[in-house]
Structure 1
Amino acid sequence: MNTADSEQKSQKFVILGATGAIGSELSRRLVQAGHEVFLGGRNQSRLECLSEELAAPTQTIDGTDPESIERCIQGACGKLGHVDGVVNCIGSVLLKPAHLTSDQEWSDVLAVNLTSAFAAVRSAAKVMGRQGGTIVLISSAAARIGLANHEAIAASKAGVIGLTLSAAATYANRGIRVNAVAPGLIKSNMTQSLWETPAAESASTDMHALNRIGEPADVASMIEWLLQAENNWITGQVLGIDGGLATIVPRARQKRG
């Protein structure tokens, strides 16, 4: 590949929630592929480490504050010159039935998972204007299948699906593509209680037809694919990266039935 081809394929991306398991894996993949990234995250020390590793500019953000997200994306545009894509990896997990979920917990889940996604779309659309670009959000398999004790997280992530579809329709005439991924259980510090013991890991594995828990790379690789310029006829899609969790009944469960 000559230098001109390489430069033509290089793009500039903003990764919100860059220090999380999926965000950091995605950031590394994009830099290795020759792209520029601007990293937004809450944990300043982790952000500094990732910035040093990838030689990438950063900004500390509050993922529950739309103005903070707006400043980050605007700052990225100023630093990089323009923005080709924005990925929102900000998220949280709350596993409680509705009757045990407090008003504050409900508000926090909505702020982290849905308000951050809305703020990312709004801010990305402003900086992309009519030049086109790509926005990728993260929903969840829990928004597509009924899972016990997932009421708050399922509701917020279902909102992300609705946001994705509507924004894809709104901004298609500007050449802005909006898609989402809907992961199953992914190994990370945030989900550790669901797989850290043999019993928990076995129960979680059994829920997935492909008989394993997901890795951050499983999700990051699909997001990277959606960001690629050559995949520019894909918008308004919610892609399940979930080992079959939302659509397939595992054989073990069928046999027990």
Structure 2
Amino acid sequence: MGGLAGRTALVTGASRGIGRAIARRLAAEGALVAVHYGSSEAAAHETVAGIERSGGRAFAVRAELGVEGDVETLFAGLERGLAGRPLDILVNNAATAPAGPIETDTPERFDRLFAVNVRAPYFLIQRALPLLRDGGRIITLSSVATRVANPGQTSYAMSKGALETMTLTLASALGGRGITVNAVAPGATRTADNAQVFEAPGLEEFIAGQTALGRLGRAEDVADAVAFLASGDGRWITGQVLDASGGVHLGLRA
């Protein structure tokens, strides 16, 4: 068994993309994984089935985030699936996409983005604390958008910046329980769902040319970083933002 045998994990937004890769990786390490989804029931059950085919354990939990009652809906399903076991690992991965530049943004889209990307993770953590075992892990997905200016992602970057501040302060607040709190910041990451985005002529080559390691990210690259922080090897790391972008936009390349 892997290093997370006997542990339990909740991964939000785990029906596809990076969330699915994280759920698979934690399950491969032996964790029982709650695969959260908002609307993609078939994709969530496909994630669960794939984990089970590989010898892992998982169950699906549905809750639309960013609406009233979202946290209680999610935790009702989570606690049924855990059947009395505590939670060891919480991965806040679910997020809504950038709403565009400030010129075309609207209060409604802005509020929706912050409800899903900021309010939901914050109150999920609040609700998880009585269930989270001492020595547990809280890992939140941020973005390189917080360190690279992109006018088309202003409100999105603001939401991820809020999560990074939350990570720092909660690491201090929860350290007495041995709970580590960290963030992982992906860059441009190709998944099965966004592959068409990178088919625009020259885009993949441009991003690869701006990346120290010379390629687009893969969902598994991010999942491995999350799994490290979730493992025993990550026990002495807290309050940090781990850049998992392959070094995008670090500066001029030789």
- Shorter-chain TM range is 0.7 to 0.9
Quote the Cα distance in structure 2 between the aligned partners of 1:235 and 1:135. Answer: 9
Deviation at 1:151, TM superposition (A): 0.5
For these two proteins, the number of residue pairs brought into alignment is 246
2:242 maps to 239
Quote the Cα distance in structure 2 between the aligned partners of 1:155 and 1:57. Answer: 32
Quote the Cα distance in structure 2 between the aligned partners of 1:95 and 1:191. Answer: 16
Contact 2:92 2:121 in 1 (8 A): yes
Deviation at 1:193, TM superposition (A): 5.5
Which amino acid is the alignment partner of residue 48 of structure 2?
S
Secondary structure of the equivalent of 2:131?
helix
Q: Which of 101, 105, 128 is the equivalent residue of 1:101?
A: 105
Q: Which runs of 4+ in 1 moved over 6 A?
A: none
Quote the Cα distance in structure 2 between the aligned partners of 1:191 and 1:7. Answer: 31
Q: Which of 206, 223, 228 is the equivalent residue of 1:225?
A: 228
Mapping for residues 199-218 of structure 1, pairs under 5 Å? 199-218=202-221
Secondary structure of the equivalent of 1:150?
helix
Which amino acid is the alignment partner of residue 42 of structure 2?
S
**Larger % of helix: which?**
1
2:177 maps to 174
1:16 maps to 12
TM-superposition CA deviations, 1:13-49 (whole Å, max 9, x none) = 1111111311111111222222211111111111122
Q: Structure 2: 5+ residue runs without aligned partners?
A: 53-57
Secondary structure of the equivalent of 1:179?
strand
**Larger % of strand: which?**
2
Q: Structure 1: 5+ residue runs without aligned partners?
A: 253-257
TM-superposition CA deviations, 1:174-197 (whole Å, max 9, x none) = 221110001111113564464122
Q: 1:131–1:88: structure 2 CA closer, same or farther, 3 Å change rule?
A: same
Q: 1:66–1:198: structure 2 CA closer, same or farther, 3 Å change rule?
A: same
Q: Which of 51, 69, 72 is the equivalent residue of 2:71?
A: 69
Deviation at 1:114, TM superposition (A): 1.4
Quote the Cα distance in structure 2 between the aligned partners of 1:227 and 1:30. Answer: 8
Identify which range, 82-91 or 69-78, moves more after superposition. 69-78
Quote the Cα distance in structure 2 between the aligned partners of 1:102 and 1:8. Answer: 43
Quote the Cα distance in structure 2 between the aligned partners of 1:84 and 1:220. Answer: 17
Quote the Cα distance in structure 1 between the aligned partners of 2:68 and 2:146. Answer: 23
Q: Which of 43, 46, 64 is the equivalent residue of 2:43?
A: 46
2:87 maps to 83
Quote the Cα distance in structure 1 between the aligned partners of 2:151 and 2:192. Answer: 21
Mapping for residues 87-166 of structure 1, pairs under 5 Å? 87-94=91-98, 96-128=100-132, 131-166=134-169
Identify which range, 220-229 or 208-217, moves more after superposition. 208-217
Which amino acid is the alignment partner of residue 218 of structure 2?
E
So what's the TM-score if we normalise by structure 2? 0.88
Which amino acid is the alignment partner of residue 164 of structure 2?
I
Secondary structure of the equivalent of 1:233?
coil
Secondary structure of the equivalent of 1:126?
coil
Deviation at 1:218, TM superposition (A): 0.7
Quote the Cα distance in structure 2 between the aligned partners of 1:32 and 1:20. Answer: 17
Contact 2:144 2:186 in 1 (8 A): yes
Q: Which of 8, 23, 26 is the equivalent residue of 1:30?
A: 26
